[in-house]
Amino acid sequence: MRSYSLIAPAKINLYLEIIGSRPDGYHELAMILQSIDLSDQIDIHASSTENIRVYCDHPQVPIDQSNLVYKAAALMAREFPKAFSNFGGVDITIKKHIPVAAGLAGGSSNAAAVLVGMDLLWNLGLTQSELEELGASLGSDVPFCIGGGTAIATGRGEQLSPLQSLDNLHIVLAKYRSLEVSTPWAYKTYRQQFGVNYIQDSEGLAARASAFHSEDMVKAILNKNTENIAQKLHNDLEKVVLPAYPQVWQLRELFASQPGVLGTMMSGSGPSVFAIVESQNQGQIVKERIREAIPDEDLELFVTHTIKHGIKIAQ
């Protein structure tokens, strides 16, 4: 039986701005997405049946049809029925390292790995653009997770403009295992509180998304200026998540008070919080200080760094 093992990296948001409402009900966004060296492994095996079976070593991850990994495999079966008929179903094993329900696109990255893996398994020869188009039907983060690196994301997050990739940012990441923030709740609450400020017309939405390509955060990334990147971190969703989740607010404030932390922010809709630090060694020091300040075993802490790639075959 043929099989592939793929590395599926997490992502953080370096910037997240909510511009307005789209006709399809989603929000129009302007974001900068960044892959980090914290990854799951996805093993895909061809089976002799017509079934799609999902396995995972993490008790919080569903292994039924609600899992985005299952949905990705089912999508490939529908889109390429001849290949499905020829090669049969797949067994997919998820080896989790990315925290669950963390605002780090772990599920989206896993689904992206399934699209890439089944393309290889079935000898489809799809381009990255074709894979991204398939991924967009599964979720807004899936297209980015395929190629990864550093990118501007507009629309609902699926319209990507790659930037020169960053591989020089050292990151400390924290997430309470038992704490989850509903992404739909975060966006709905933001709309209720700040929707009066939304750009309403399509021309205005397009103009704001276009203007974002030349703003200060993009320039800082192009210049690979770590301090400027850290100073320009921005996430609109902090306005609603931090007041509602004191633990996340406390974590962010604690990061901000640490020597060597250049900037800190919640990623996506949370509840993960990350800090940009000067070096890996400084990251270890900050991690130890956070652990001393919050000795709660429920708090997961990671020292990682930004990377240039998305899904890749495991070595």
165 is in an annotated binding site: no
What is the C-alpha to C-alpha distance for residues 73 and 116, in angstroms, rounded to an integer?
A: 10
163 is in an annotated binding site: no
Do 15 and 160 fall into the same domain?
A: yes
Helix axes 68-79, 106-121, angle to 10 degrees: 30
pLDDT in tens, 161-177: 999 989 889 999 999 99
* 140 and 209 assigned to the same domain: no
Q: Are residues 243 and 151 in the same domain?
A: no
- The answer on 55 and 145 residing in a single domain is yes
R_g over Cα of the chain: 19
Do 302 and 214 fall into the same domain? yes
CA gap 16, 269 in Å, rounded? 10
Residue-wise pLDDT tens digits, 17-29: 999 988 888 899 9
Q: Which band of pLDDT confidence, cut at 50, 70 and 90, is reported for residue 254?
A: very high
User: Is the pLDDT at 282 greater than 80, yes or no?
Assistant: yes
Q: Report residue 81 as tokens.
A: 């029925």
Q: Which domain holds residue 238?
A: 169-306
For residue 121, tell me if it sits in a domain: yes
Digit-coded pLDDT (tens) for 107-128: 999 999 999 999 999 999 999 9
Q: Note whether residue 33 is domain-resident.
A: yes
| Residue 5 marked as a ligand binder | no
pLDDT at 194: 96
In-domain check, residue 313: no
3-state class (DSSP) for residue 298 = coil
- For residue 250, what are the contacts with CB-CB under 8 A and spacing of at least 6? 294
Please state the length of the chain: 315
For residues 96 and 101, the model is more confident at: 96
Same domain, 220 and 137: no
Structure tokens at 291: 């652990």
> What is the arithmetic mean of pLDDT over 103-109?
95
> What is the reported pLDDT for 214?
84
Residue 184 in any domain: the answer is yes
11 is catalytic: yes
Q: Are 161 and 173 in a shared domain?
A: no
Q: Report how many domains make up the chain.
A: 2
- Asked if residue 252 and residue 128 are part of one domain, the reply reads no
162 and 190 both lie in a single domain: no
Of 136, 166, 196, the domain-final residue = 166
3-state helix, strand, coil in the chain (%, to 5): 40, 30, 35
Residues 241 and 266 in one domain: yes
The whole model's pTM is what?
0.94
Is 271 annotated among the ligand-binding residues? no
Instruction: Tell me: do 156 and 229 sit in the same domain.
Output: no
Q: Is 8 annotated as a binding residue?
A: no
**100 among annotated binding-site residues:** yes
Q: Tens digits of per-residue pLDDT, 174-233?
A: 999 999 999 999 999 999 999 999 998 889 998 998 999 889 999 999 999 999 999 999
The rounded mean pLDDT for the chain is 95
**Residue 101 annotated as binding site:** yes
CATH code at 275? 3.30.70.890
- Given a cut of 80, whether residue 43 has pLDDT beyond it is yes
Q: Of 40, 119, 141, 236, which one is the catalytic site residue?
A: 141
d(CA 288, CA 177): 18
pLDDT recorded at residue 1: 54
CATH number at residue 125: 3.30.230.10
158 and 190 assigned to the same domain: no
Whether the Cβ atoms of residue 1 and residue 19 lie closer than 8 Å to each other: no
Q: Which of 166, 197, 219 marks a domain boundary?
A: 166
How far apart CA 112 and CA 72 sit, in angstroms, is: 8
- Check the annotation: does 104 bind a ligand: yes
